[in-house]
Structure 1
Amino acid sequence: MLVATLVSAHGQALLTDGLLAQLSAAVPGAADRARLDGEIAADLFADVTDARKLEADIRDALDGAAIDVIVQPVAARRKALFLADMDSTMIGQECIDELAAYVGLKDKVSGITERAMRGEVAFEPALRERVALLKGISTSVVDEIIRERITLTPGGTALVRTMRANGGYTALVSGGFTVFTGPLGATIGFDEDRSNRLLAAGGVLTGEVAEPILGKQAKLDALIELRARLGLAPAATLAIGDGANDLAMLGEAGLGVAFRAKPAVAAAADARLDHADLTALLYAQGYRGDEIIRA
């Protein structure tokens, strides 16, 4: 039995009784449906085995409606380990681009960032190239950037805190920098954070990053290490990210989710979120709206 979790676009309630009935009638194998949070989120159960086909059938029936679809086996939907990328996933920005703005190089650095996230250039050399352009920036600007320029992705705090309250372990695993993942990870509520360390001398960035660089392989290794430490089956793990350096981690997770992702990442992931906020990952695990910790 598969379950397709349907989640409305952030701030909308699109799953009317009529639409759910229409989907149940149109989707081959549809067996039952259940509401998770009013007209915001619902489950559609289907007695079929092909998850990709079920997702495609539902998307066809939705006919472009701003509703995300996450399909998975019913038995393994509740997760005990969550790993997340930070930049453009748990937050709305790329921190390295915001640092570059202080020396008038945001456009140049963001262009390199975009190519790296699309997988057009290798992550590690691209990071070194971008960090070199940050040489001479005072480390004191980090607090100002977090305060003035960084926004948390809606639903992220609720996702992390609800999972932790239900015994889950959460890790922020970023190709970004510890000066950001430390305070932002704590604000969101993660158990731990892992990222790269910018080198500085006398309170000024040297234009170098500590080796080895945390990239695609390190994210995958983190998932495998934490899974083993916690004694979990692969199916009990959940990961989310938006870039090419997240692909290995997403592929290893029981449920790997692409968030507002580059095309190659969206195509490779188990599921994608194009419209909903991050509480969609709670609905996908079967949490009801009244079980979500929103404060």
Structure 2
Amino acid sequence: MSVRLIAFDLEGTLVKSVSGWVELHKRFGTWEKGKEYAEMFFRGEIDYPTWADLDASLWRGRRREEIMEWVESVEYMDGAFELIEFLREKDFKIAILSSGLMCLAEKVGKELGVDYVFANELEFDEEGRITGKVTPHVDFEGKGTILRRLKEELKPELTVAVGDGYNDLAMFREADVSIAINPHEGVEGDHVVESLHEVREIIEGLLEEE
């Protein structure tokens, strides 16, 4: 039985949240400092795991419930459920690769019924409070490496990647077909679309060519 593989970015692609990190900073009143850390990362002064820990350190002591309140508020993009259902019917293995937070990625993964979820994990203590540490499973550039591993494991006949940001480009390079959805400036794929409905149309076209 032949396998196909599709990898999705999460925020700005499957859900309407643009960045959990930024939204939580704004929710917790830590954005000023968070913005400074982001600028340090993009200037190359700190690496990704350090950036993630610095961000999380600003939320030390916050409770899991506060994070989950935000998670529950995040809305899906139009057509997300229909697209995933269609892909499952067409024998796609489906992965979410997010440099955002696992608490959101895991919920979306369960609700949509995807096969693999990769994201960064906030650490909580026994009482359910943020420790200020992060387990960074998905480095800013790490999506390409993860997709390559999945390809080696599954040996798919077709690999598609869908995303909107700079950190999706590494995953685009590993895919046979890349689809940029409402991409950030300077982000290009083989196809550029504005909705998940259009993603489905492109995939239908690819399957007809097989």
Could you state the TM-score of these two structures normalised by the residue count of structure 2? 0.82
- Residue 205 of structure 2 is aligned to residue 281 of structure 1: no
Shift of the 196–185 alpha-carbon distance from structure 1 to 2, 3 Å rule, reads same
Shift of the 165–280 alpha-carbon distance from structure 1 to 2, 3 Å rule, reads same
Q: Give distance in 1, aligned partners of 2:153 and 2:91.
A: 15
CA offsets, 1:139-197, max 9 Å, x none? 1123311223x111112222211111111110011112221111111112312211111
Q: Give distance in 2, aligned partners of 1:131 and 1:171.
A: 25
Kept in 1: contact 2:13–2:181 (CA 8 A): yes
Partner residue, 2:192: 272
Shift of the 213–128 alpha-carbon distance from structure 1 to 2, 3 Å rule, reads farther
Shift of the 111–84 alpha-carbon distance from structure 1 to 2, 3 Å rule, reads farther
The alpha carbon displacement at 1:89 in A equals 1.7
Residue identity matched to 1:244: Y
Shift of the 161–113 alpha-carbon distance from structure 1 to 2, 3 Å rule, reads farther
- Residue 118 of structure 2 is aligned to residue 198 of structure 1: no
Shift of the 204–252 alpha-carbon distance from structure 1 to 2, 3 Å rule, reads same
The alpha carbon displacement at 1:113 in A equals 5.7
Kept in 2: contact 1:159–1:282 (CA 8 A): yes
CA offsets, 1:26-57, max 9 Å, x none? xxxxxxxxxxxxxxxxxxxxxxxxxxxxxxxx
Deviates more, 1:196-205 or 1:256-265: 256-265
Matched positions, count: 199
User: What runs of 5+ residues in structure 2 fail to find an aligned partner?
Assistant: 206-210
Residue identity matched to 2:121: R
The alpha carbon displacement at 1:132 in A equals 2.2
Select 2:161's aligned residue among 229, 239, 247.
239
Kept in 2: contact 1:84–1:240 (CA 8 A): yes
Select 1:180's aligned residue among 89, 99, 104.
104
Partner residue, 1:143: 68
Residue identity matched to 1:126: W
Q: Give distance in 2, aligned partners of 1:215 and 1:203.
A: 25
Shift of the 213–194 alpha-carbon distance from structure 1 to 2, 3 Å rule, reads closer
Structure 1 runs of 4+ with >3 Å offset? 106-116, 119-126
CA offsets, 1:228-262, max 9 Å, x none? 222224xx111112222211111111111222222
Q: Give distance in 2, aligned partners of 1:185 and 1:114.
A: 30
The percent identity for this pair of structures is 24
Select 2:52's aligned residue among 127, 145, 151.
127
Kept in 2: contact 1:102–1:137 (CA 8 A): no
Larger radius of gyration: 1
Q: Secondary structure at the match of 1:89?
A: coil
Q: Secondary structure at the match of 1:232?
A: coil
Could you state the TM-score of these two structures normalised by the residue count of structure 1? 0.60
User: What runs of 5+ residues in structure 1 fail to find an aligned partner?
Assistant: 1-78, 288-295
The alpha carbon displacement at 1:227 in A equals 1.6
Partner residue, 1:262: 184
